[in-house]
Amino acid sequence: MERLAREFYDRDTVVVAKELLGKWLVRVVDGVERVGRIVETEAYLGPHDLAAHSARGRTARTEVMFGRPGFAYVYLIYGMYHCMNVVTERDGHAAAVLLRAVEPVRNVEGRTQGPGLLSRAMGIDRGMNGCDLTGDECFLAEPEVAERIRIVKRPRVGVDYAGVWAKRLLRFYIEGNGFVSKR
């Protein structure tokens, strides 16, 4: 399996968010590789993007967003679900891509359409925060079979509070894929 290198993440966040579609998310739990094909993402551009957590400043929670690209930013939402993000762009630029849905490929039980369900099914929680995605616990990889896809662009979900930023087309998903989250 060909793992994505640091350079992949060290680029424009919108480009990374689009290119992540179709890639494989791999999480190793008890020696078993759980593999999901990424079908939906959202881009969070940085402190100027009012929908991004980094817009509220550098805090203990958002620290990894401000760090180097290719690391996982995982946080607890609504007291019961975890959301996984991939940190992008240079060290100091607090941007990331939220993984919103995957399609089960291998060893994945349960539903995976939505950031909370995806994290639960893949075995991702706050313990993964700050994890190096070029390492062995959790990483992204080129799919074994590349498929041609069409990308749909929509406004991001659940960020109505962000004013004009809520209208930006920063949610991306694979057209026609049945594992994309509803809403």
Q: How far is the CB of 105 from DNA (least distance, A)?
A: 18
Q: Candidates 3-11, 29-37, 70-78, 172-180 — which segment interacts with DNA by CB under 7 A?
A: 70-78
Looking at 4, 20, 98, 170, which residue binds DNA (CB under 7 A)? Answer: 98
Closest C-alpha to 35, from 108, 109, 121: 108
Q: How far is CA 174 from CA 32, 132, 147, in A?
A: 27, 26, 11
Cβ neighbours for 183, distance < 8 A, ≥ 6 positions apart: 157
Does position 154 interact with DNA (CB under 7 A)? The reply is no
Looking at 56, 90, 153, 167, which residue binds DNA (CB under 7 A)? Answer: 56
Looking at 79, 148, 176, 178, which residue binds DNA (CB under 7 A)? Answer: 79
Q: How far is the CB of 5 from DNA (least distance, A)?
A: 22
Closest C-alpha to 16, from 127, 133, 157: 133
Q: Candidates 6-14, 22-30, 155-163, 171-179 — which segment interacts with DNA by CB under 7 A?
A: 155-163
Residues 103-142 that bind DNA (CB under 7 A): 111, 114-118
CB 133 within 8 A of CB 6: no
Task: Report CA 29 to chain centroid distance, whole Å.
Answer: 19
Q: Candidates 16-24, 55-63, 132-140, 166-174 — which segment interacts with DNA by CB under 7 A?
A: 55-63
Q: How far is the CB of 146 from DNA (least distance, A)?
A: 27
DSSP 68: -
Looking at 13, 62, 88, 177, which residue binds DNA (CB under 7 A)? Answer: 62
CB 69 within 8 A of CB 6: yes
Distance CA 9, CA 117 (A): 24
Does position 83 interact with DNA (CB under 7 A)? The reply is yes
Distance CA 54, CA 152 (A): 26
Give residues in contact with DNA (CB under 7 A).
42, 44, 51-54, 56-57, 59-62, 65, 73, 75-81, 83, 85, 96, 98, 111, 114-118, 156-159, 161, 181
